């Protein structure tokens, strides 16, 4: 399948692995890229720019295919040295950066001067248009169903993707709720040039996270996620657990007066590592999409991507072209 996204990034299949804090290490990024997609190291999971340089070098040893680095600009307790992280990306020879959280506008000159292609992940048409205006090469359009931060507009992908298609000139991928060949064909029918997945890649043998997390995704259905931090306008979709129930209890008691300090000890950015790396499933909130309901196994990235492409092919040839032939 050739799309504007496969051409832009020089990849075989229009499938991207979104940056994931405490997950996006070299092992996963390299496995996705080796499977023909675009793997992504999560920049800020590396504590310093020097650590990111080492992680990029490790990834380059594991794959000779293109891979990218995610840079997330979120309200954080202490702003990381973004220009130094970008320098590590440039020096490491990485040619794709996924930005997210806030507009990457102030860093575009540094990224573009190094010939880096920028795909900005955002949750609204207006932010996608802004990304196009400031020179991003592509956008990843993240619907309300996504794992992680769905923004504050609450527009699901069945509306958001065709709206993005109506307005954008640059290519975009569908993100949020994507799991299989059905998702890919649907995303393309709605105007996208490929898809971005987070949660589905967590439940793979290559994801360097605890087996308890992978099993929790397989066991969950589509009803198990919750939205936290709504009043802080930093909404996050997470898998329900004891920590999340405690966050929601605090939010209900504080009724809009809560601050991040009230829940800091339970949130992903700070404590998510305990769940994702150590498998202590009730210690903290961890990002997870509604798409957990469509995830029933733990394949390798190679198997997963191959299966998605085969399924997409047969849906197009048999189901779609087949129904045309019957007409
Ligand atoms: C465990 C986890 C951690 C994530 N961390 C980040 C992150 O650090 N930065 C970011 O831009 N997106 C992050 N995301 C969002 C994903 O990159 C992707 O946009 C999202 O998972 C897509 O929705 P899906 O889970 O339905 O596939 C995270 C998602 C998950 C599941």
Place of tokens 């306008």: 233
Q: Which of 262, 196, 165 is nearest to 39 (CA)?
A: 196
What is the mean predicted confidence (pLDDT) over 93-106?
Answer: 97
Task: Please state the length of the chain.
Answer: 327
Please, are residues 43 and 92 in contact by the beta-carbon 8 Å criterion? Answer: no
Cα torsion for 87, 46, 218, 242, to the nearest 10°?
-130
Cα 79 from Cα 71, distance rounded (Å): 12
Q: Is 121 in the pocket of ligand 1 (CB under 6 A)?
A: yes
Cα 40 from Cα 211, distance rounded (Å): 21
Closest residue to atom 8 of ligand 1, CA basis: 21
Closest residue to atom 17 of ligand 1, CA basis: 18
Q: Would you state the pLDDT for residue 108?
A: 98
Q: Which two tokens stand for residue 23?
A: 């997950």
Q: Which two tokens stand for residue 323?
A: 């129904």
Mutate to test the pocket of ligand 1, among 198, 210, 212, 241 (most ligand atoms within 8 A of CB): 198
- Give the Å distance between the CA of 246 and the centre of ligand 1: 22
- Give the Å distance between the CA of 281 and the centre of ligand 1: 18
Tell me, rounded to whole angstroms, the distance of Cα 301 from its chain centroid: 15
Q: Is 34 in the pocket of ligand 1 (CB under 6 A)?
A: no
Closest residue to atom 6 of ligand 1, CA basis: 20
What is the mean predicted confidence (pLDDT) over 80-107?
Answer: 97
Q: Which two tokens stand for residue 308?
A: 């998605």
* Domains with residue ranges and CATH for the chain: 4-209 (3.20.20.70), 225-287 (no CATH)
Q: Is the pLDDT of residue 35 over 70?
A: yes
Please, are residues 287 and 249 in contact by the beta-carbon 8 Å criterion? Answer: no
Cβ neighbours around 256 below 10 Å, total:
9
What is the three-class DSSP state of 46?
A: coil
Strand partners, 227: 237
Q: Would you state the pLDDT for residue 120?
A: 98
What is the three-class DSSP state of 135?
A: coil
Cβ neighbours around 306 below 10 Å, total:
15
What is the mean predicted confidence (pLDDT) over 151-156?
Answer: 97
Please, are residues 244 and 288 in contact by the beta-carbon 8 Å criterion? Answer: no
Q: Please tell me the least confidently modeled range out of 3-12, 229-238, 262-271, 280-289.
A: 262-271
- Give the Å distance between the CA of 11 and the centre of ligand 1: 21
Q: Report the atom number in ligand 1 closest to the C-alpha of 201.
A: 27
pLDDT band at 79 (very low <50, low <70, confident <90, very high): confident
Report which secondary-structure segment, H or E, holds 141. strand 138-142
pLDDT band at 76 (very low <50, low <70, confident <90, very high): low
Cα torsion for 240, 241, 243, 246, to the nearest 10°?
70
Please, are residues 230 and 294 in contact by the beta-carbon 8 Å criterion? Answer: no
What would the pLDDT profile of 158-200 be if each residue is shown by its tens digit? Answer: 999 999 999 999 999 999 999 999 999 999 999 999 999 999 9
212 Cβ contact partners less than 8 Å away, ≥ 6 residues apart = 279, 281
Query: DSSP readout, 260-272?
Result: HHHHGGGSHHHHH
Cβ neighbours around 254 below 10 Å, total:
13
- Give the Å distance between the CA of 98 and the centre of ligand 1: 11
Mutate to test the pocket of ligand 1, among 15, 16, 17, 20 (most ligand atoms within 8 A of CB): 20
Q: Is 224 in the pocket of ligand 1 (CB under 6 A)?
A: no
């Amino acid at each position: 399948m050739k799309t504007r996204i496969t051409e832009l990034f020089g990849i075989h299949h229009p499938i991207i692995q979104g940056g994931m804090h405490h997950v996006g290490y070299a092992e996963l990024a390299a496995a996705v890229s080796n499977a023909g997609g675009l793997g992504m190291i999560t920049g800020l999971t590396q504590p310093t720019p020097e650590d990111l340089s080492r992680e990029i070098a490790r990834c380059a040893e594991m794959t000779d295919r293109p891979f990218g680095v995610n840079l997330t600009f979120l309200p954080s307790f202490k702003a990381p040295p973004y220009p130094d992280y970008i320098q590590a990306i440039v020096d490491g020879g990485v040619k794709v950066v996924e930005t997210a959280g806030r507009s990457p506008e102030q860093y575009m000159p540094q990224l573009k001067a190094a010939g880096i292609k920028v795909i900005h992940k955002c949750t609204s048409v207006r932010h996608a248009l802004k990304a196009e205006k400031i020179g991003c090469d592509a956008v990843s359009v993240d619907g309300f169903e996504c794992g992680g931060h769905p923004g504050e507009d609450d527009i699901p992908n069945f509306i958001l993707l065709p709206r993005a298609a109506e307005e954008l000139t640059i290519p975009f991928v569908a993100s949020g709720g994507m799991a299989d060949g059905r998702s890919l064909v649907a995303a393309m029918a709605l105007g996208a040039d490929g898809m971005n997945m987070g949660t589905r890649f967590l439940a793979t043998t290559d994801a360097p996270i605890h087996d308890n997390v992978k099993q929790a995704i397989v066991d969950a259905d589509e009803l198990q996620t919750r939205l936290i931090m709504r009043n802080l306008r930093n909404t996050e979709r997470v898998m329900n657990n004891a920590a999340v129930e405690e966050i929601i209890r605090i939010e209900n008691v504080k009724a809009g007066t809560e601050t991040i300090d009230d829940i800091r000890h339970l949130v992903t950015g700070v404590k998510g590592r305990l769940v994702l790396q150590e498998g202590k499933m009730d210690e903290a909130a961890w990002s997870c999409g509604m798409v957990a309901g469509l995830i029933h196994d733990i394949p390798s990235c190679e198997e997963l991507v191959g299966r998605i492409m085969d399924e997409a092919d047969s849906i197009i040839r048999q189901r779609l072209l087949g129904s045309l032939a019957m007409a």
